[in-house]
């Protein structure tokens, strides 16, 4: 009942949710800086409300986040103490290219990440780098309209050229786009897209998706050319979709909703647009404009591995019942067999085994779980300790399910990075008090607090899990 010896245990963060320092070191403004907390967040991240500048009526949590910009040494030291083998993090594009379309990168930004990677290696931690985790320089949005514009491919290519060369020998695991399928659900946060009155939003989203898919293939090509040791993965928000009943209508609906996410991985892993997507796009009149060389690029440069986030399974029904459950960025039918987190997300450990099997059956490539965890409110006890047994229970059950998929089903899994090993800003709600960490950060939803780090009970538990290579889950 064992994981392989080189199994990569660790944790995952994203620049915009932890770094802060939004205007330091020559960094340019990015879409993710402008997503406020509160009632307007949803309209902003979905591209319905244009927010291209800060205003006094909103609080923007990414400006400071947990200030990892100034604390990364202390934070990586804590990750090392837990025994991390890998640390998944992302690069803020606008630190390297503040505007996005410059020729020359910002040396201070490059150096910042170089220092982080060196710090990781000091402890034998392998960095796993997401090239873009939802972020896009604002200049590229204002001047070019974000990923709806084909020119974005070239700007992304420049970024890849620079970082692959500069970090050769320091980084060998790369992810091209975080949760690439989120372009469908949060197009401003995911791809810098705001919609104009009356335009066909679906058409815009799939055109932008096409640009990202081509950019991802180009990234894989360059990564391999620069260093044959580089391994490049795609990354999508996973979670198998269950039919609410065995009514064939429910089953067919579940297949269709599953395909909305698999579409991206079908292209990135198999190297071409699947027939079902081509047919549907044609029917709806939303087939993206493609260039001659795109087909060849997609075919020649598929990803080496498939990474995904898993928080919950999803469920669909066709009987017009609108009893919905929340979930990672979008809601689906409420599954009566499951329990739910404080934020209403279903908790379904077996769903992780099911998802791992579905994805592996479909692609037959190595998989990597790069996000999984429980967002919860943590209340310190009278001694200031956080006994987060609820988090330990959640993770224990998910790790067990993952172990079953590996050991009993033979799924080829490279590693597991839990989401937010240190408390950070929530992507969906912008809250700080939706915590995932093993490490508590003293900061609240309004930006109050000392930013002091302290270890939760789960810190010691995860340390044991890693030390025993997943055998000791008690």
Q: Which residues bind ligand BG6 (CB under 6 A)?
A: 14, 17, 178-179, 237, 309, 328-329, 371, 375, 419, 426-429, 434
The H or E element that residue 187 is part of is helix 187-191
Among the listed residues 179, 212, 253, 431, the single catalytic one is 179
To ligand BG6, the closest distance from the beta carbon of 371 in angstroms equals 6
Nearest alpha-carbon partner for 138 in 37, 30, 254:
30
CA quadruple 374, 375, 379, 384: dihedral positive or negative?
positive
Tokens of 398: 């998910």
If the CB atoms of residues 262 and 436 are measured against ligand BG6, the closer one turns out to be 436
User: d(Cα 380, Cα 302) in Å, to the nearest integer?
Assistant: 47
To ligand BG6, the closest distance from the beta carbon of 98 in angstroms equals 22
To ligand BG6, the closest distance from the beta carbon of 314 in angstroms equals 14
Tokens of 434: 């939706």
Residue 426's alpha-carbon distances to 14, 31, 66, 348, 432, in angstroms, are: 10, 15, 11, 21, 6
Nearest alpha-carbon partner for 367 in 394, 398, 405, 404:
405
To ligand BG6, the closest distance from the beta carbon of 424 in angstroms equals 7
Q: Is 371 a catalytic residue?
A: yes
If the CB atoms of residues 154 and 344 are measured against ligand BG6, the closer one turns out to be 344
User: d(Cα 460, Cα 468) in Å, to the nearest integer?
Assistant: 13
User: Which residues are 339's β-sheet partners?
Assistant: 347
To ligand BG6, the closest distance from the beta carbon of 185 in angstroms equals 9
Residue with tokens 């579940």: 254
To ligand BG6, the closest distance from the beta carbon of 329 in angstroms equals 6
Q: Is 228 a catalytic residue?
A: no
- Residue 145's Cβ-side half-sphere holds a number of Cα atoms within 13 Å equal to 11
If the CB atoms of residues 17 and 207 are measured against ligand BG6, the closer one turns out to be 17
If the CB atoms of residues 355 and 426 are measured against ligand BG6, the closer one turns out to be 426
Residue of minimal CB distance from ligand BG6? 428
User: d(Cα 96, Cα 421) in Å, to the nearest integer?
Assistant: 25
Asked if residue 432 lies in contact with residue 61, where contact means CB atoms within 8 angstroms, the answer is yes
- Residue 467's Cβ-side half-sphere holds a number of Cα atoms within 13 Å equal to 12
The H or E element that residue 173 is part of is strand 173-177
DSSP-derived letter for residue 316 is E
Strand duo 324-325 + 332-333: pairing: antiparallel
If the CB atoms of residues 236 and 305 are measured against ligand BG6, the closer one turns out to be 236
Among the listed residues 19, 126, 253, 371, the single catalytic one is 371
If the CB atoms of residues 181 and 287 are measured against ligand BG6, the closer one turns out to be 181
If the CB atoms of residues 179 and 212 are measured against ligand BG6, the closer one turns out to be 179
How many CB atoms are located within 10 Å of the residue 106 CB? 19
To ligand BG6, the closest distance from the beta carbon of 421 in angstroms equals 12
Catalytic residue numbers, as ranges: 179, 371
């Amino acid at each position: 009942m064992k994981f392989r010896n080189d199994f990569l245990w660790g944790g995952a963060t994203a620049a915009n949710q932890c770094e802060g320092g939004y205007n330091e070191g020559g960094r340019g403004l990015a879409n993710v800086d402008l997503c406020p907390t509160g009632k307007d967040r949803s309209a902003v991240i979905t591209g319905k409300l244009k927010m291209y500048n800060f205003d006094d009526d909103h609080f923007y949590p990414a400006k400071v986040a947990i200030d990892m910009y100034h604390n990364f040494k202390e934070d990586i030291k804590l990750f090392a103490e837990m025994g991390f083998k890998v640390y998944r993090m992302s690069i803020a594009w606008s630190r390297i290219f503040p505007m996005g379309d410059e020729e020359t990168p910002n040396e201070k930004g490059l150096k910042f990440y170089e220092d982080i990677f060196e710090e990781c290696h000091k402890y034998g931690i392998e960095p796993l780098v997401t090239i873009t985790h939802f972020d896009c320089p604002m200049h590229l949005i204002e001047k070019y309209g974000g990923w709806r514009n084909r020119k974005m491919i070239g700007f992304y290519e420049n970024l890849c050229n620079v970082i692959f060369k500069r970090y050769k020998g320091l980084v060998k695991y790369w992810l091209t786009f975080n949760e690439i399928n989120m372009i469908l659900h949060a197009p401003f946060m995911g791809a810098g897209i705001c919609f104009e009155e009356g335009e066909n939003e679906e058409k815009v989203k799939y055109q932008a998706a096409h640009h990202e898919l081509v950019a991802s293939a180009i990234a894989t090509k360059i990564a391999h050319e620069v260093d044959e040791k580089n391994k490049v993965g795609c990354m999508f928000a996973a979670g198998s979709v269950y039919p609410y009943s065995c009514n064939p209508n429910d089953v067919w609906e579940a297949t269709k909703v599953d395909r909305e996410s698999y579409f991206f991985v079908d292209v990135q892993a198999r190297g071409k647009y699947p027939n079902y997507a081509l047919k549907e796009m044609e029917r709806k009149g939303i087939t993206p404009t493609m260039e001659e060389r795109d087909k060849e690029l997609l075919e020649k440069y598929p990803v080496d591995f498939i990474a995904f986030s898993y928080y919950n399974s999803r469920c669909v029904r066709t009987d017009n019942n609108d009893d919905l459950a929340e979930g990672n960025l979008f809601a689906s039918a409420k599954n009566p067999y499951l329990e739910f987190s404080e934020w209403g997300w279903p908790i379904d450990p077996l769903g992780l085994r099911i998802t791992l099997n579905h994805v592996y059956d479909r692609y037959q490539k190595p998989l990597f779980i790069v996000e999984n965890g429980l967002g919860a409110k943590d209340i310190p006890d009278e001694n200031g300790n956080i006994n987060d047994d609820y988090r330990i229970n959640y993770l224990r059950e998910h790790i067990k399910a993952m172990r079953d998929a590996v050991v009993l089903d033979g799924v080829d899994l490279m590693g597991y990075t839990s989401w937010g090993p240190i408390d950070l800003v929530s992507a969906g709600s912008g809250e700080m008090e939706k915590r995932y960490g093993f490490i508590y950060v003293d900061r609240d939803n309004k930006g109050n607090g000392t930013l002091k780090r302290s270890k939760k009970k789960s810190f010691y538990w995860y340390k044991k899990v890693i030390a025993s290579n997943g055998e000791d889950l008690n």
